[in-house]
Copies of this chain bind each other. A is one copy, B any other.
Amino acid sequence: MTIYDIAEKCGVSIATVSRVLNGSSRVSAKTKEKILLVMKEQNYQPNPFARGLGLNSMKMIGVLCEDVSDSFYATAISLIESYLRLIDWNVILGCTGRGSGLKYKHLQFLMEKHVDAIIIIGTPFNHTKDLDYLKNVAKKRPVIMVNSYIKHNNIYGIICDEETGMSDIVGKLAEKGCKSVLYLYDSLTYSGRQKLTGYKKGIATHKLDENPLLQNKINRSLEDVEQTVKKLIEQNVYFDAVVTSEDLLAIGAQRAILQMGKNMPIVGCNNSLLAQCATPMITSLDNQLEILCREAVELLTKLMNDKEVPSKMIFPAKLYQRESFIYA
């Protein structure tokens, strides 16, 4: 079934069929009706490749992240897919993996498919080669970064102010009388750097213990974090609260602390389902993914309609208090 078949069955030219297909007003009601009828009964569907060839677009957006199996990215992708779906855009998914090699290849794959824009969740790109490639991509297509940012023409960032969120947490812990806040983190993505900075600022502002042993970079694994925390306690490194860059780390830390017969406030980040599965449930800083993703898609539509958009938007984080730390 092509536009030719429809045209023939209706006794009109393909131009007329194309017009009703694209909702042109310059078609008589009668012929339009007939064409629509024939289309329906023939179950006609326009060929997306032919259309793509002419319009140079198949209404597809490339969405990239490190690893969809991670609940944070999965949630983001889910939100973005549903928002894009509402306005009839499709998602081509790409996962770069957490390894180090040749991530720009994944950008290449998307560009080869001529996606109309690229949305990047988090910070998959760090190496110069990858970043250079990304900037080149931005010359051809808009790039929207969710919870990450690179200042560059045609790259837009929708981010959460986790820095303030984190330093506020430290402030609240100080109010409660904590003196030494242990910080555990697993990566220095854009978001990771923000949180670390927030922690440091909080510590400085409230004149808390600046012992460098209290800042620990570790793998994101329950075993590793439990081991690290236990070791610190055994070595008599004093701390009276724990903040982590990620819920999983907070869960492991809490487990280790309880096992060592101690108790103290613990706060994680990302407000994932994991936080609610731990006992006691973990208080967590939510980076408001729902808002970020909604705004990312919103920005995209504005961009497609040649409207003005900000190159960077910042939204506040929100603390979800649970059993592991209640301050008010």
Does A141 touch B at the CB level, under 8 Å?
Answer: no
Among A55-87, those with CB < 8 Å from B are 56, 58, 60, 63, 67-71, 74-75, 77-79, 81-82, 85
Scan A72-107; emit 1 where CB is below 8 A from any B CB, else 0. Answer: 001101110110010000111111010000000000
Is B74 touching A71 in the complex (CB atoms < 8 A)? yes
Does A327 touch B at the CB level, under 8 Å?
Answer: no
Which of A208-216, A232-240, A272-280 participates in binding chain B? A272-280
Does A316 touch B at the CB level, under 8 Å?
Answer: no
State the main secondary structure of chain A at its contact with B.
Answer: helix
Does A25 touch B at the CB level, under 8 Å?
Answer: no
Does A251 touch B at the CB level, under 8 Å?
Answer: yes
Count of this chain's copies in the oligomeric assembly: 2
Does A111 touch B at the CB level, under 8 Å?
Answer: yes
Determine the distance from Cα of A274 to Cα of B247 in the docked complex, in whole angstroms.
11
Q: Which of B53, B78, B277 contacts A278 (CB 8 A)?
A: B277
The residue of chain B having its C-beta at the shortest distance from the C-beta of A273 within the complex is B274
Shortest distance from the beta carbon of A52 to any chain B beta carbon, whole Å? 4
Is B81 touching A93 in the complex (CB atoms < 8 A)? yes
Is A113 touching B58 in the complex (CB atoms < 8 A)? yes
Is B68 touching A81 in the complex (CB atoms < 8 A)? yes
Is A82 touching B97 in the complex (CB atoms < 8 A)? yes
Scan A27-63; emit 1 where CB is below 8 A from any B CB, else 0. Answer: 0000000000000000001011110110010101001
Complex contacts, A71 vs chain B, CB 8 Å:
69, 71, 74, 273
Complex contacts, A45 vs chain B, CB 8 Å:
111-112
- The winner among A67, A68, A279 for most chain B CB atoms within 10 A is A68
The residue of chain B having its C-beta at the shortest distance from the C-beta of A78 within the complex is B69
Complex contacts, A114 vs chain B, CB 8 Å:
47-49
Is A69 touching B74 in the complex (CB atoms < 8 A)? yes
Tell me the A residues contacting B by CB distance below 8 Å.
Answer: 45, 47-50, 52-53, 56, 58, 60, 63, 67-71, 74-75, 77-79, 81-82, 85, 90-95, 97, 109, 111-114, 222, 248, 251, 255, 258, 273-274, 276-279
Q: Which 4 A-B pairs have the closest CB atoms?
A: A49-B52, A74-B74, A69-B78, A49-B53
